[in-house]
Amino acid sequence: MKIGLDIMGGDYAPKATVLGAISAYKALPEDQKIILIGDKEQALPFFSEQDFNPDVFEFIHTTEVIGMGEHPTKAIVQKPNSSISIGFQLLKEGKLDSFASAGNTGAMMVGAMFSVKTIPGVVRPAIASIVPKLKGGYGIMLDVGANADCKPDTLLQFGILGKLFVENVYGIDNPKVGLMNIGEEEEKGNLATQATYPLMKETNLFNFVGNLEGRDLFNDKADVIVCDGFTGNIILKLAETFYILTLKKGFKDEFFDRFNYEQYGGSPFLGVNAPVIIGHGISTPEAIKNMVLLSKTMIESKLIDKIKSVFK
Amino acid sequence: MKIGLDIMGGDYAPKATVLGAISAYKALPEDQKIILIGDKEQALPFFSEQDFNPDVFEFIHTTEVIGMGEHPTKAIVQKPNSSISIGFQLLKEGKLDSFASAGNTGAMMVGAMFSVKTIPGVVRPAIASIVPKLKGGYGIMLDVGANADCKPDTLLQFGILGKLFVENVYGIDNPKVGLMNIGEEEEKGNLATQATYPLMKETNLFNFVGNLEGRDLFNDKADVIVCDGFTGNIILKLAETFYILTLKKGFKDEFFDRFNYEQYGGSPFLGVNAPVIIGHGISTPEAIKNMVLLSKTMIESKLIDKIKSVFK
């Protein structure tokens, strides 16, 4: 197993990515290799600082970096030697089994769709965000930003992608899929959700539990929350703000602690032909480690093959 | 000044509405009359319980009630003697200066649009929700549920309605108006917000401060947050959930306390030809009192005339 990690991605790279890779290495069995993609010269001092032998990793030396503010499509085209471009090149060639980066989110999406490409039958890939549940455990919400406007068939597919993810990665049997909306009743919603409800009700591809409301984000009504990327992005950023507020106010609580993105590492980009994980820009070593471990679980679970077989 | 209050509206009516009306009476100057609309027979025992003379109020006795779960349009038509229908009839005839109810939200919207009607020039009225600010004070967000899908010109108008409300009711000079979106940059967003941004940037009807994100809900970036009713409703219900969670977890904090809807009483329905306030279904006496006081401020500020003069 070859887990690709962009060591140039994220606000605290390469220090945070190197430290995260070291932690992940210690947590992984020996046959699971982490491939570090980035500027080796910049990375080496952080290994020395830790008195850790860098030779346990395979390095792919790259000389360019796509900045957080760069235009995704332009950057991918103009910086073929960037860690993100090279990472996706290797993923496409099968030299990596997964690729993860806490770098430019747009470049990660564009890079994935240009290189390994969208799975045939999938209309639009989606970014899934992990959502902590009050009762314990996690659910996911998708899309959280890849697709601001979504047609009903796209939302239906997000339900399938999400179902397969939580089933295979979290081991949740027959997961509950809900549609984020503004009322429980079937006829409630905007044009998109009103048209999506009957499609979800009719499908036999997942267990549709009906409409959800903003108040249902953390309860047990659904394991998979489907929404367009506009709604999901706003929900996600609002929820993060609440977590930050509880921290600032000095409230300590096990539930709020599980809002900490570090614990799950990153957001899977679902619907492309390989495991791709996008980390938070502010990723710490702990987040990077968990992003690598999530990569491993996505590879082991053969999630991509399972998605392909449903959409073929 | 004649402030109309539906005493049959809300989960705890008529007890909560009677107690709220008594509190409001004590807080108001003598020349400001509260007109109670509802079943007088059901209300009187609660006055006796409080040893309070009901004759300080004018009563409009009604015999029907629109339930929380009833279909708004059907209910308004089929129950002409309901407290909501009669309230709007009186408002239309000028026998009330405002009308407030914690009853069926849909019936309140339909009733307002059927009776006093939408202000000429306003495309769609909107429900505005009060949002507490971290620095202290309040802003508003609109729409939070009246219009699930909104065209760019409608969103532009929400900016005008919101600006006039916070300027006249909260006394905020030259309020900052922002557009809820998924990124700060002009080109970010879904089709609706992408098309709305240039309209807001060009307008001289309010002080547009650009795009907001989910994380900006409680900060000082904007006094008026504009969004479609789908997005606003989900944000509102999610924010309420956080408040309830902090209560359940036993966190006490001045900021979270200001999430308590009781403090502001209700949500103004902006864009119709009279002050109309829709209360939370779970309104307590404190909420009812503050809904009456908000009615008073809306009347005194001549908000409706100011809106009319901008849209004429």
- CB-CB under 8 Å, A238 with B215: yes
Distance of CA B182 to the CA centre of its chain: 26
Residue B159 sits in the same domain as residue B278: no
pLDDT (tens digit per residue) in A206-245: 999 999 999 999 999 999 999 999 999 999 999 989 888 8
Only one residue has tokens 């009322």, namely A183
- CB-CB under 8 Å, A214 with B235: yes
Residue A257 sits in the same domain as residue A134: yes
Domain annotation covers residue A179: yes
Do B216 and B224 contact (CB within 8 A), yes or no?
Answer: no
Residue B127 sits in the same domain as residue B246: yes
Residue A181 sits in the same domain as residue A284: no
Domain annotation covers residue A312: no
Q: Which residues of chain A have pLDDT under 50?
A: none
Closest CA–CA distance from residue B231 to any residue of chain A (Å): 6
State the residue range of the domain holding B44.
1-122+271-312
In a 3-state reduction of DSSP, which class is residue A52? coil
pLDDT (tens digit per residue) in B96-128: 999 999 999 999 999 999 999 999 999 999 999
Return the CATH number at B220: 3.40.718.10
Closest CA–CA distance from residue B51 to any residue of chain A (Å): 40
Name every chain A residue with its beta carbon within 8 A of the beta carbon of B240. 214-215
Q: What is the mean pLDDT of residues B9-35?
A: 95
Closest CA–CA distance from residue A213 to any residue of chain B (Å): 6
Task: State the Cα–Cα distance between residues B241 and B279, nearest whole angstrom.
Answer: 18
Name every chain B residue with its beta carbon within 8 A of the beta carbon of A191. 148-149
pLDDT at B203: 98
Complex-level ipTM = 0.94
Q: What is the mean pLDDT of residues B63-71?
A: 94
pLDDT at A52: 96
Residue B101 sits in the same domain as residue B51: yes
- CB-CB under 8 Å, A190 with B233: no
pLDDT at A95: 98
pLDDT at A34: 97
With 0-12 CB in 10 A as exposed, 13-18 as middle and 19+ as buried, what is B198? exposed
Selected for mutation to probe chain A from B144, B241, B261 (highest A CB count within 10 Å) is B241
- CB-CB under 8 Å, A230 with B182: yes
pLDDT (tens digit per residue) in B135-172: 888 999 999 999 999 999 999 999 999 999 999 999 99
Residue B253 sits in the same domain as residue B140: yes
Task: State the Cα–Cα distance between residues A6 and A147, nearest whole angstrom.
Answer: 24
- CB-CB under 8 Å, B242 with A193: no
Residue A98 sits in the same domain as residue A179: no
Do A285 and A19 contact (CB within 8 A), yes or no?
Answer: yes
pLDDT at A256: 80
Determine the Cα angle at B38 with ends B33 and B41, to 5°.
105
Residue B103 sits in the same domain as residue B56: yes
Q: List the end-to-end C-alpha distance of chain B, in Å, as a whole number.
A: 25
The HSE-up count of residue A157 (CA atoms within 13 Å, CB side) is: 24
Token pair, residue A57, equals 């990793």
- Report the phi/psi class of residue B218: left, alpha or beta, with left for phi > 0 and alpha for psi in -120 to 50: alpha
pLDDT at B108: 97
pLDDT (tens digit per residue) in B87-98: 999 999 999 999
Domain annotation covers residue A112: yes
Residue A133 sits in the same domain as residue A114: no
**pLDDT reading at B261 higher than 80:** no
- CB-CB under 8 Å, B235 with A191: no
Residue B73 sits in the same domain as residue B155: no
Selected for mutation to probe chain A from B238, B255, B259 (highest A CB count within 10 Å) is B238
Q: In this structure, are strands B33-38 and B58-61 parallel, antiparallel, or unpaired?
A: parallel
pLDDT at B265: 84
Q: Which residues of B touch A (CB under 8 A)?
A: 134, 145, 148-149, 180, 182, 189-191, 193, 213-215, 217-218, 228-231, 233-242, 245-246, 249, 251, 253, 255-256
Residue B296's pLDDT band, with cuts at 50, 70 and 90, is very high
Q: What is the mean pLDDT of chain B?
A: 95
CB-CB neighbours of B217 under 10 Å: 26
Q: Which residues of A touch B (CB under 8 A)?
A: 134, 145, 148-149, 180, 182, 189-191, 193, 213-215, 217-218, 228-231, 233-242, 245-246, 249, 251, 253, 255-256
Closest CA–CA distance from residue A193 to any residue of chain B (Å): 10
Q: List, in order, residues 6 or more apart from B155 with CB less than 8 Å away.
A: B179, B192, B193, B196, B199, B200, B226, B227, B228
pLDDT at B172: 95
Task: State the Cα–Cα distance between residues B238 and B244, nearest whole angstrom.
Answer: 10
- CB-CB under 8 Å, B228 with A214: no
pLDDT at A251: 84
How many structural domains comprise chain A? 2
pLDDT (tens digit per residue) in B173-203: 999 999 999 999 999 999 999 999 999 999 9
How many beta-carbon pairs below 8 A join chains A and B? 105
Residue B36 sits in the same domain as residue B108: yes
Of A234, A245, A249, the CB nearest to B182: A234
Q: What is the mean pLDDT of residues B12-25?
A: 96
Q: What CA–CA distances, in Å, run from A48 to A9, A41, A59?
A: 20, 12, 16
pLDDT at B256: 80
Q: What CA–CA distances, in Å, run from B127 to A265, B227, B229?
A: 38, 11, 8
Q: What is the mean pLDDT of residues B219-234?
A: 97
Domain annotation covers residue A147: yes
Closest CA–CA distance from residue B168 to any residue of chain A (Å): 28
Domain annotation covers residue A23: yes
pLDDT at A51: 96
pLDDT at B248: 86
pLDDT at B101: 97
Q: What is the mean pLDDT of residues B273-288?
A: 94
Residue A185 sits in the same domain as residue A277: no
